[in-house]
Structure 1
Amino acid sequence: MGPTRRRDLVFVAAAAAIVGYLLVVWLYRWFPPITLWTGVSLLVVAGAEAGWGYVVRGRVRDGRIGVGAGRLHPLAVARSVVTAKASAWLGALVFGWWLGVLGYLLPRRGIRIPHEDIPGSVVAALCALALVAAALWLEHCCKSPDEREQPRDAAPE
């Protein structure tokens, strides 16, 4: 399993934005109001992942990986990588969705209902972007120190 490629996340976000825009065009009249709290749950998850990234980074840097008191179990690091990858993909997908919603709302900002939904959509999109950033940070923190210093195109020894 390799590192998450940013180009793949951008592609997923763009595809989700296009599909999201088309769905919003057809279904917007049935949407509930979009409040400022709509995407905040993603920000909570992003904060938790970023905080966990700092913990993992400190323990990896200090060599406290292994079994024992005060050490981080290697399976916990592996699970953290899987969580980070899943969160990055989910964040990119949700970010694309909110870009699609904003693509529909911004040209209609003179109309009362879409105008009221714009701030909540912007906050949700930013929270999804924060989740992507936190997930990529956590994934980076799970790398061993030797792996971080090695250039991407360097051949393994």
Structure 2
Amino acid sequence: MGPTRNRDLTAATVLAAVAGYLLVLVLYRFFPPITLLSGVSLLAVALAEAGWAFYVRARINDGRIGDGPGWLHPLAVARSVVIAKASAWVGALVLGWWIGVLAYLLPRRSTLRVAGEDTAGSVVAAVCALALVVAALWLQHCCKSPPEPPDTPDGATE
């Protein structure tokens, strides 16, 4: 399993934005109001992942990976990578959705009162989705093993 590629996440975001725009174009009149709290749950997950990333990074840098008291088990790091990859994909797709919603709302704010009211909530949700993508990529980065120290010619490590 390799690292999540930014171009793949970008492509997913663009595709979700196009699909989201087309859905909103057809179904917007059936939508409930978009409040400022619409995307805040994503921010909570992003903050949790960012906090976990700093914890994992500190443990890896201290060399406290293993099976002892106060140490971080290697399977916990592997599970963290899986969570980070899944969160990055979810965040990218949700970000695309909110970009599609914003692409519909922004040009119609002056002519459609409801669009003006929904814009702020959509912006907050898009920012929260972006925060989830960033936090997930950071967690994935923090789960990397530190580089091995180079060996000197006589076989001793520095």
**Which interval holds the TM-score relative to the shorter structure?**
over 0.9
Per the alignment, residue 33 of structure 1 pairs with 33
Per the alignment, residue 155 of structure 2 pairs with none
Per the alignment, residue 116 of structure 1 pairs with 117
Normalised by the size of structure 2, how large is the TM-score? 0.92
Name the SS of the counterpart of 2:82 in structure 1. Answer: helix
- Residue 18 of structure 1 aligns with an amino acid whose one-letter code is V
Instruction: Within 5 Å, give how 1:7-156 maps onto structure 2.
Output: 7-110=7-110, 111-146=112-147
Distance in 2 (CA, whole Å) between partners of 1:67 and 1:26 is 55
Q: Deviations over 1:15-63 (max 9, x none)?
A: 0000000000111001000000000000000000000000000000000
Distance in 1 (CA, whole Å) between partners of 2:63 and 2:129 is 32
Per the alignment, residue 4 of structure 1 pairs with 4
> How many pairs does the alignment contain?
147
Structure 2, gaps ≥5 residues long: 149-158
Per the alignment, residue 156 of structure 2 pairs with none
Report how far residue 76 of structure 1 moved.
0.3
- Residue 79 of structure 2 aligns with an amino acid whose one-letter code is R
Distance in 2 (CA, whole Å) between partners of 1:76 and 1:145 is 16
- Residue 112 of structure 1 aligns with an amino acid whose one-letter code is R
- Residue 16 of structure 1 aligns with an amino acid whose one-letter code is A
Report how far residue 146 of structure 1 moved.
1.1
RMSD: 0.7
Normalised by the size of structure 1, how large is the TM-score? 0.93
Report how far residue 95 of structure 1 moved.
0.1
- Residue 53 of structure 1 aligns with an amino acid whose one-letter code is A
- Residue 81 of structure 2 aligns with an amino acid whose one-letter code is V
Report how far residue 68 of structure 1 moved.
1.2
From the CA coordinates, give the structure whose radius of gyration is larger: 2
Distance in 1 (CA, whole Å) between partners of 2:63 and 2:95 is 36
Distance in 2 (CA, whole Å) between partners of 1:77 and 1:108 is 46
Distance in 1 (CA, whole Å) between partners of 2:33 and 2:64 is 48
Per the alignment, residue 153 of structure 1 pairs with none
- Residue 115 of structure 2 aligns with an amino acid whose one-letter code is P
